[in-house]
Structures are given as C-alpha cells and as structure tokens.
Amino acid sequence: MTPAWLLALALPAAAAEPSWVRADPVMTAALAELARSKDRLAVGESRPYYIAYRLLDQRRVIVEAQFGALKASTEERKRYAGADVRVGSAAFDNTDYVSADGGGHAPFTIEAPYEDGAPGVRHALWWLTDSAFKSAVQRYSQKDAYRRSKEEEDDLPDLTPAPVSALDLAEPVAPLPAADAEALARRVSAMFRRSKDLQGCRVGVFMFDNLARFLDTEGRRSRRDASDYEVVLDAWTQADDGSPLAEQRRFPARRPSDIPSAERLESEAREMAASLTARRVAPSLDAPYIGPVLFEGQAAGEFFNQLLARGLAAPREMWLEDEGLLEAYRPGRLARRLGLRVMSPLLSAYDDPAASEFEGTALAGRTLIDDEGVPAVRVGLVEKGVLKDLYVGRAAVEGRAGSNGHSRSALENLPSPRAANLFVAADPALPRAALKAELLRRAQEAGLSWAVLVRRLGEEDARRDGSLLAPPVAAFRVNLDGSEEALEGALFDAVTMRTLRDVAAASAERRVYNHYQRGPYGQQGDDVHATIVHPDVLVSEMDLVPDEREPDRLPRLKSPLAAGLAR
C-alpha cells in the first residue's frame, strides 16, 4: 500500500514545475534538453519511451598522511551527468540484459561543465543522450534477438509504475576546510610512529561535498545532499615468518559533524598498532577447526552484510548471452526464497531508510529517495527467520512488482535494489556477556578444548573462492577458562547461506555498523553508504582451515622507525 504522505507528493502530469525547480538553473537547462530529446530523438521507428538524468555536483578533497607527514592533498570541483535512455516499452526494453561482450548494464556518463550556464549543461546532456540512445537501440535489437532464441519467455516488465514526486531535500552543510582535514590526517597518522613493528601506515581523509539531482520524462524531480565523508586508517607489517598482516578501519559519515573526534581516531590507531604487534607472534591455525564461532562487533556487522544484505541485493535475474557471466551477474541468493526460512528463527530484520540515528549514533545509510527518483519506504524483510519481502526497484522481480525505493548506485552504474538501514534483532536474546559463556559451553559439549571468537572480518572483496564470507582479520582462540589468544592464518571453508540459519544465539544489545556496501555485480566504484544495526551472533558450527599461502620475504634491514633512526 502506498503511504498517504507519498500520495500527497504525487504531481499531476500537467502541473507546473515547483518553484525550487524553476529557480535552479541546472534543473531548468536539463529539463529543456530532456523535453527536446523525448519529443525529437529518433532512429527510424525507434524512439525513447523513457529518459532519466542524474547530475552530481562535487567538491572533492582527498588528504593522505603517513607517520605524521602529509603525503598528498588535492581539492577540485566537478560536475558529472548520467543518462538512462530506454527504447521499446515498459514491458520489454533494452535493460536487464548483458550482451556477449559484457556490455549493456551501465548508463552513459559524462563530465559536464561545472558552471551553471545553460549552453554548457545542455550541450553535455545532448551529447550524452545521443550516445545513450544509439546504444539503447543496438542493445534492444540484441536483446530482442536473444528473446526470440529462448525456449521460454520471461514476462517480467522492465519498468513498473512508481509514484511521481518532486522533492527538494538539499540541506546546507558547512564543508570541512581542507586545512582541518590535513591537520587531522597528520595528527592521527603520527600515532603509528610509536609502534616499532609497523612497516607502513596511511591515514586518509576523503571529503565529497555532493549535490545530486534527478529528473525523468515521467515527471520525477529531486535534489538532495549526497555528501560523503570518510576517514580511513591503514597499517601493515609482517609476522616473524613473513606472512603479511594488515588492518584497516573505515569511518564513513554523511556530515562533517559525524566524523569521529581526533581523540577517538588516535585511540583506534593505537588499538590497530597493538593488534598488529600481537598478531606478529600469534600462533597460526595448524589443523582444521569444526565448532562454534562467535562474531562480535565489526565482524558481526560484516557477517550480516556479506550474507543477508548481499543475499537480498539485486533480486532481478538478468538475461545473459554468455552464461560464463552468470557468477558476475548472479542475483541475490535469497531472492527466490520468499516465504521460506532464510535465517535462524531467533532473527528478524527490516530496513528503514528514513531512520537517522540509533542510540545516539548517526546512520550513514539514511536515504529518503533512491536513485530512480522513488521515495524510500520501510520494508519488513524477515520475520522469525522467514523471508517476507524483498528490496525492489522499478524492474519487476518474481513475486514482487512495484518499487519500494531501494535502488541505489554510484553514478557510473545503473541503480539496483539494496540495503539502506538494515535492522536485525533477536528474540529471545542473551546479554552480550552471556554469549561467550554459551560459546564455551557448546565447545565443551562438542569435546573441544577451545573455541573461536572473531572480532574483525575482511570486507567482501577479500572473499576466497568457495566461501561467501571473507577471512577473519582479528580472530581469537578462546580457551575453556575464558582466556583469549590471538589466532592467525584461519580461513572459513565453504560458507553458504545456510550459515544464517545456523545462528544459535544472539545478543540483546545491538551495535551500529556504518560501511560502504559493494555493488552487487562487482563493478568498480559502485559503493554506497549503508548501515546495519545488529546483534553479536553465535553460529553453532563452522569450518575453519589453515591458510596455506606462501609467506613473503622479510625486509633485509629494519625500518628507520624500528631502528630508532627517525625521530
């Protein structure tokens, strides 16, 4: 059911443009070119039935420092534009199809003049639209030929109806001066000088002050702040046997005020250095482990990101001329399990894109309108382990039709349905402290003398073949007396979606995991802000195996920091 507030935003087809649109010179220039392209663009009998423009104004500041010294600092302003041009009809058009050469599932983009003069903006959009239209005609012909060769036809429409609204969500945000970012990077990276064991470090401050505009031929108009701030801490070294060790901590934020304080970042840097020092001499897993595993903190957030959020992303199955591309363009693995149990009956989940904070922590995934111009609404996804609903964009999916406003992407990629603010909760739940006792009880019951606790996981791009979960970054052997020892060289073996159903216990307390969600098809640069509010979780049984990669050679000389030669 469409919410009443969303119906109130719907615009009659003949309504005049809102005052904020008329006052925006970029929107008025884009609207003029949109109308001209819709009315006059044609190749023979082919004409576009739908056109959408996305425009992104950006002030970009990138600062990097190493061991207290500034390494790079750049500042620039740019404007980018992307076009989604469709031919055919809403029932069947040139999208949701990838040709044998791997092309077809990407919009056309261009760098447009940053200044607001109508001639420059219109010329850029003219060139962009022309290129996108000619490609759409070609792709439609290829897709139609492919359809004729199929034994069974897919009757899911490529573009379903959605509310038409005009929303001005732009909010003035005072940008963080580049000089402040430089000072922060220097200060935090200087903390790594105190560790004699590190081989390298980096502190990056990335600031993208973005204004995003959207307009299409069906009457959708939006303008919103899409700013993107992040501080990244990297440090690396080698174990005594030469095995590479690295840790990274990322702190994404929507506003400068949400960036962690310098004191908090310094504390994180100290923790990273201490962790890497401990890991250098930590014993490695020397034999397979089969038993319970407890995920805490960031590891629990990535657990739900890589299994649940990824499993629900991009539910539409695309047509692929080359079946060898199936793995790259595989739809979410949970998409066809509506009405079935996909998680432990302890767990339920919903996505509320409008939520702005949880227990005082700002949620980076907050999204009021998606990248197809559709207002985002709350979706009840899982109830006591059973999948009840999906993320849906304007492309119909099996079992669902009609967008719920969850299609998002970077400008260089077509929007696809994915998580915004994903909330996971357990019922019944245990106090967080009781989870460790339950971990040890289960280990003892299985005849084990120790169990595994994971506090940090690698991100999605670190996953190995055959496993849907990245290897641990910070893992611990927990002895039956409760003592902990760092554990290195452990990989998850053959993790599947079943692991979500094997969750045996979860904490009542929940944490906020703000992160960048990878694009569902692995395209470079398709990361978007997302948040998971999650409990810590205990999985009843998992397999871990030793990492058998050959270690690297150690440096011939100590670093000048380790040798006390640099002050």
Task: Sort residue 447 into left (φ over 0), alpha (ψ -120 to 50) or beta.
Answer: left
Q: Which stretches in the chain have pLDDT values below 70?
A: 1-15, 102, 104, 151-154, 522-524, 563-567
Reported as a single tens digit per residue, the pLDDT across 313-348 is 999 988 898 888 888 888 999 999 999 999 999 999
pLDDT at 465: 83
Contacts of 172 (CB under 8 A, 6+ apart): none
What is the spatial distance between Cα 24 and Cα 27, in angstroms, rounded to a whole number? 5
pLDDT at 563: 65
Which pairing describes strands 221-225 and 166-169: parallel, antiparallel, or unpaired?
parallel
pLDDT at 7: 36
CB 91 within 8 A of CB 67: no
pLDDT at 174: 83
pLDDT at 152: 57
pLDDT at 9: 40
Residue 391 neighbours by CB distance under 10 Å: 29
Query: Which 8-state DSSP code applies to residue 503?
Result: E
CB 125 within 8 A of CB 33: yes
State residue 308 phi and psi, 5-degree precision.
Answer: -80, -55
pLDDT at 106: 78
Burial class of residue 434 (count of CB atoms within 10 Å of its CB; 0-12, 13-18, 19+): middle
Residue 289 β-bridge partners: 544
What is the spatial distance between Cα 175 and Cα 252, in angstroms, rounded to a whole number? 15
Q: Which residue has the tokens 């012909």?
A: 141
CB 332 within 8 A of CB 313: yes
The length of the chain, given as a count of residues: 567
pTM (2 decimals)? 0.93
What is the spatial distance between Cα 488 and Cα 283, in angstroms, rounded to a whole number? 6
pLDDT at 153: 64
